Amino acid sequence: MRKDSLGYRHSDHSVGLATVHLVWIPKRRKPVLTGNIKLRLSEILDSVASDKEWIIKAKEIASNHVHLLVEYDEKTPICDVIKAFKGRSSRILRDEFPELKKLPSLWTRSYFYDTSGKISTSKVMAYINDPHHERH
């Protein structure tokens, strides 16, 4: 996979840019994404993206929700993108932080997604990076 000067990804049979804004929350919207858990979650999300050759364009982890803006490949359905991030992070975080096992699961089954084009991507990035989110 290569990128051109405009940022489009080229594969054998396609040219394009697939970007999605994802939001998900911990079970019962518990404010557990703080301190070392927040730091480790950030590392895990970066690891998933790297392994899949996706690009995290913006990331914001609040105590009770996660925002990601992800550029991903055209062959992966959005449900598999979210599954990769939530699945790996849940397994690793619950192993490394036993207090998270008090929840029946780390994440709810639900999530929000919004696909965005080049124009609206900058607006999504500005929203995610806006200081209106709580910082821990």
CATH code (residue 71): 3.30.70.1290
Q: What is the mean pLDDT of the chain?
A: 90
pLDDT score for 118: 59
- Between CA 40 and CA 33 the distance in angstroms is 10
Asked if residue 132 belongs to a domain, the reply is no
Asked if residue 42 belongs to a domain, the reply is yes
Check: CB of residue 23 under 8 Å from CB of residue 86: no
pLDDT score for 107: 98
Asked if residue 133 belongs to a domain, the reply is no
- Per DSSP, the three-state class of 82 is helix
pLDDT score for 76: 94
Average pLDDT over residues 86-91: 98
User: Which tops the pLDDT comparison, 56 or 11?
Assistant: 56
> Which residue range is the domain that position 25 belongs to?
2-123
Residue 15 pLDDT level (bands cut at 50, 70, 90): confident
Asked if residue 25 belongs to a domain, the reply is yes
Digit-coded pLDDT (tens) for 30-74: 999 999 999 999 999 999 999 999 999 999 999 999 999 999 988
pTM, full prediction: 0.83
Asked if residue 41 belongs to a domain, the reply is yes
Angle between helices 78-96 and 35-52 (to 10 degrees): 140
Q: Tell me how many degrees the CA angle 111-65-41 measures, rounded to the nearest 5.
A: 100
Asked if residue 136 belongs to a domain, the reply is no
Asked if residue 129 belongs to a domain, the reply is no
Cβ-Cβ contacts under 8 Å for 120 (sequence gap 6 or more): none
In total, how many domains does the chain have? 1
- Between CA 90 and CA 73 the distance in angstroms is 23
Matching residue, tokens 């392994």: 51
pLDDT exceeds 80 at position 20: yes
